[in-house]
Amino acid sequence: MINPQVPDSKLANAIRSLTMDAVQKANSGHPGAPMGMAEMAVALWHRNLKHNPLNPKWYDRDRFVLSNGHASMLIYSLLYLTGYGVTIDDIKDFRQLHSKTPGHPEYGITPGVETTTGPLGQGIGNAVGFALSEALLSQEFNREEHKIVDHFTYAFAGDGCLMEGVSHEVFSLAGTLKLNKLIVLYDSNGISIDGQINPWFSDDTSKRFEAYGWQVLEVDGHDIDAIDEAINQAKDFSRQLDTGPTLIICKTVIGKGSPKVQGSSKAHGAPLGTEEVIQARKALGIEWGDFEVPKDVLDSWNHITKGAGQQAVWDSVWASYKVQYPDLAAEYERRMSGQLPLDFEEKFQTYLEQVIQDQKTLATRKSSQDTIAKLAEVLPELLGGSADLTSSNLTIWQDAVPVRSGTGNISFGRHINYGVREFGMAAIMNGISLHGGYLPFGGTFLTFSDYSRNGIRMSALMKQKVVHVFTHDSIGLGEDGPTHQSIEHAWSLRLIPNLEVWRPCDTTETAVAWRAAVKRNGPSALLLSRQNLPFIARDEICLKDIEKGGYVLRAVVNPKAILIATGSEVQIAMDAQMKLKDEGIAVSIVSMPSTSVFDRQSNEYKSEVLPRNVPKFAVEAGSTVPWYKYVGQDGAVVGIDTFGESAPANDLFNYFGITSDKLVQLVINSIKE
């Protein structure tokens, strides 16, 4: 609650003092941005933000994203001041091991932090995902007089965020979709690490965003009343039809209050120094001690009572909603809590049995599409899309309604045309997942995972349920040539911690991979073929073991060697097995659709699948070196460690020696030795 007896300047200076003290004690950090953005924070967090410190996961809270995550002491100060579970001791532990106040805000560590921000531009992408989720959920669940989904998404962003290319991708789409409950406050201080930005960033930001379809407002970033008025103008704007998001350009001075370093890059990424902190306190009129906030200031900042009241208003609407629409309410709670339907396993098992019965020869991208269609029936939260490759990725299903802008600003749908925006798609999907209510997936070619990689890494870091669909997974895509042919990409994704990568070999493995991705509390990547792959019959043990990531697909008694394969190359291994049988050499085949899942199995199981005393040979149309983890230095790998060529797929596999004959010869030579 606003206390007229406490000047706004003292509220802002509480942020500045905590920032200076924490950065100085840690001898590390970025004091300039929080000091320069303090008035922006007062205008938003003290006057406008709808949130409840005692319930940071309240469904209808406003979402706040600090995209310029190096300014982390800003949000930590706000969380402490407004009454979240962040203490003054946590502030003192800034940037220390296992503290609640790490160097950049991290989701799941600090209560009230909505997303992990650090790589500039990612946070604003997440914010677009938040706003998109709110818009779609409101269309799906709100009823007249029962607006249970009705909140804003606010983001603070700096010059660096707007320089990053991903900002164009996500802001362009946000304007096109008219996400008018997205409000971005831009800290325009004109400084980055290298100094004054004019020589390398001279965009007319206002015209840029107007071209996107945004409302643009410009204010003095140190005038709290002006910022407050702009925020309320943005909220009023959102109530009109056919309006877009709002950008509020806040002209600020970085490091404001520090006599020697304000307005310069020196304020950006280093402590001010003990003497400069003393001088800054004098200049700002801060009379309290280190890591102290006067009681009247702390009381004025505290949002617990007001936040509880804000939620109580919603609780009343929610209680009435549950009485009038009990089924919708139960569905909303299920989806926001991330729970699968109770009958999911039963329905999916029926589908899997049909897949096995049909025995179709299909490209795994087509197998994936068939599975998506079934998932869309049983999971209303499934929200798909593609980065302008829908007809190639096959990430759409029959009767899927596209998300479009329109009267009322956005029309409800379950398929998003992201356009040629791979990086933006990955960042937006992270925001969708973080918001709750939807299970996002999006597709592009595997080689273009390079574009979206940082977003993929962030979903892994935050343990978000996001499904990345990557098709055209090898030289098997053929004539498009080396620019589109993946070589190192499968392993570059497998190396990301907490990302579960699947490269299935047929319809059955594709369905199992999708089931694993949907059930998992974390991100998954499905690597799928362009070319058709034959159905492979399996016994019951094999079927159960697919979900373990690696299993014996074709067993023999006393094998002379083990052939390990994944994806389209499983068929090469099977052909090699038959040829070796004709030579009197018995080998078994291990299909390994997911190395990361296999690696998590018990040592006993892994030893059963890959016994130590049997020579091993791996085949995959990609980088060879990582496979030696499984075959050992005495084994061999058939693969490709150069870029591809433009030619039909079969010609390429022969040209690069990724053939059953090559595999056969390696086994025979090994046995002779």
Residue-by-residue DSSP string for 231-285: HHHHHHHHTSTT---EEEEEE--TTTT-TTTTTSGGGTSS---HHHHHHHHHHHT
Confidence category of residue 633, pLDDT binned at 50, 70, 90 = confident
What are the b/e assignments for 214-233, b being 16+ CB within 10 Å?
A: bbbbbbebbbbebbbebbee
The tens digit of pLDDT for each residue in 459-479 reads: 999 999 999 999 999 999 999
Q: Determine the Cα–Cα distance for residues 485 and 643; give it in Å rounded to an integer.
A: 8
* pLDDT number for residue 600: 97
CATH 3.40.50.970 range(s) for the chain read 8-308, 343-527
Question: What's the pLDDT score for residue 671?
Answer: 84
Mean pLDDT of 523-538: 97
| Predicted confidence (pLDDT) per residue in 474-495, tens digit | 999 999 999 999 999 999 999 9
User: Per-residue pLDDT tens for 142-181?
Assistant: 999 999 999 999 999 999 999 999 999 999 999 999 999 9
Rounded distance between C-alpha atoms, residue 93 and residue 323, angstroms:
47
User: Distance from CA of residue 355 to its chain's centroid?
Assistant: 31
CA 439 – CA 385 distance, rounded (Å): 11
The pLDDT tens digits for 637-656 are: 999 999 999 999 999 999 99
Q: Where in the chain is the domain with CATH 3.40.50.920?
A: 540-672
Please give the pLDDT value at position 1. Answer: 46
- Tokens at 80, concatenated: 């402490």
Give the model's pLDDT for residue 411: 83
Fold of 540-672: Rossmann fold (3.40.50)
Residues at the binding site for Mg(2+) are 159, 189, 191
- pLDDT on residue 673: 67
CA distance 107 to 496: 18
Contacts of 171 (CB under 8 A, 6+ apart): 124, 128, 209, 212, 214, 245
Determine the pLDDT at residue 161: 97
The torsion defined by the Cα of 132, 135, 140 and 141, in degrees rounded to 10, comes to: 120
C-alpha–C-alpha distance, residues 117 and 455, integer Å: 11
The answer to whether 144 is a known catalytic residue is no
For residue 210, what pLDDT is reported?
98
CA torsion 423→426→431→433, rounded to 10°? Answer: 180
- Residues annotated within the binding site for thiamine diphosphate are 70, 118-120, 160, 189, 268, 448
pLDDT exceeds 70 at position 56: yes
Task: pLDDT band for 407, please (50, 70, 90 cuts).
Answer: low
State the DSSP code for 46: I
- pLDDT tens-place string over residues 274-312: 999 999 999 999 999 999 999 999 999 999 999 999 999
Strands 246-251 and 182-188: parallel
Alpha carbons within 13 angstroms on the beta-carbon side of residue 597 total 25
Task: Name the catalytic one among 114, 140, 276, 422.
Answer: 422
pLDDT of residue 3: 57
Task: Give the per-residue pLDDT at 5.
Answer: 81
Is residue 101 pLDDT above 80, yes or no? yes
Residue ranges of the binding site for substrate: 30, 268, 365, 392, 472, 480, 484, 530
CATH fold group of domain 343-527: Rossmann fold (3.40.50)
Amino acid at 151: H
Q: What is the pLDDT of residues 324-351, one digit of tens each?
A: 999 999 999 999 999 999 999 999 999 9
Considering the chain, what percentage of its residues have pLDDT values greater than 90?
96
**Whole-number Å distance between alpha carbons of 473 and 480:** 12
pLDDT of res. 643:
97
Across 65-72, average pLDDT: 98
Q: pLDDT value at position 408?
A: 62
Confidence of residue 371 (pLDDT cuts 50, 70, 90): very high
Fold adopted by 8-308: Rossmann fold (3.40.50)
Edge-to-edge strand list for the sheet holding 439-445: 415-417, 382-386, 439-445, 467-471, 524-527, 500-502
